[in-house]
Structure formats: structure tokens, C-alpha cells
Amino acid sequence: MKSPEKELLSVIREVEQTLARVSEESASWKSDPNTWSAKEIIGHLIDSASINHGRFVRGQLSDNLVFEGYQQDDWVSTQCYQERSFAELISLWLKLNYHLSHVFARTPISVRQAQRSQHNLHEIAWHLVPPDESTTLEYFMFDYVEHVKHHLAQIHQRLSTAAK
């Protein structure tokens, strides 16, 4: 099994060059006003990286995995990612995720794999964990990577549709 830091590095390195070639027009395209553009999806991933950074650090310093949630749609609209340069958004997202990979790698295996019975991953994880099941910080790290992959696939789909 791969480590979460290697999995995250693999994902971001795989898309780094592809995203750098995306035009502002394509990154801004929306199929309808109620869907996110590629810019807004990357903005959401910036928010996710920022919020989860704190969670991954606090998870190392606590015996539980109980974290505050956030209103993702409100965060995206409030920060007006649609108005930002796609290149700047990509740069910030990459830097945050390179740092998260570093945080993952520096988390001791014993801390990463410690079973935590107290958590709220039934509310905040990408792949929910029932509240009566214990889980690990490592599970949450891998879950973060899966969340990133999901949204990168959405971006690829949006860009393919925008090109038509």
C-alpha cells in the first residue's frame, strides 16, 4: 500500500503540467450558473487543503479526530475564485499540497495509525466513517487524497466539455 504522502505527490505531479496549460477562458467556463468552474473547483481544493492542514496537525496532537466543518459553497463564493487568475490559483493549490505531503510524511506511523474511537468523520470525511467505528488519521489522509482526485476528475470533465 502506498503512503498518503506518496499518493498525494503522485496525484499533484500528474496534473501539474496539464493544469498549467489550461486557458483562462476554459478555466472560467461554467455549464450553468449553479455549477463551479474549474477555477472554483481549484478554489474549493485550496479551501480544503487549508482547512485540512489544520486538521492533520491537530489530529497529531489529540487522541480524537473531531474537527469543525465548514460551508464549502459559501467559502467559494465569498472568496470570488472566479475573478482570480487560474495560474495563481494552481500555484497556491500546488504549494499547499506539497506542504501537506510534507506534513503527512513527518507524521509518525504510530500517530498516523492509532485507532481513534472519538471522531466526526461521519460528518466531514469524503468517504464517511460510521460514528460507532474507530478510524485513524491515516485513513483521513488517504480520504483527503481521494477527495482531491474526485475534484480533479471534475475539472477534467469541465474542461473537456468547455472545449466542445
Q: Which is nearest to 78 in space by CA: 54, 124, 47, 50?
A: 47
Rounded-to-integer distance, Cα 142 and Cα 135, Å: 12
- Of all residues in the chain, the percent with pLDDT exceeding 90 is 95
> First vs last Cα of the chain: how many Å apart?
38
Domain housing 12: 4-25+33-162
Per-residue pLDDT band at 1 (split at 50, 70, 90): low
pTM summary value: 0.96
Q: What is the mean pLDDT of residues 110-139?
A: 98
Residues in Cβ contact with 118 at an 8 Å cutoff, skipping those fewer than 6 apart: 63, 64, 65, 66
Q: What is the pLDDT of residues 30-77, one digit of tens each?
A: 989 999 999 999 999 999 999 999 999 999 999 999 999 999 999 999
The pLDDT of residue 121 is 98
Cα–Cα distance for residue pair 55/36, rounded to 1 Å: 25
- 12-35 pLDDT, tens digit per residue, is 999 999 999 999 999 999 989 999
The total of structural domains in the chain comes to 1
Half-sphere exposure of 154 (CA within 13 A, CB side): 19
- The CATH number covering residue 69 comes to 1.20.120.450
Which residues neighbour 22 within 8 Å (Cβ) at sequence distance 6 or greater?
38, 86, 159
Residues 157/61, Cβ–Cβ less than 8 Å: no
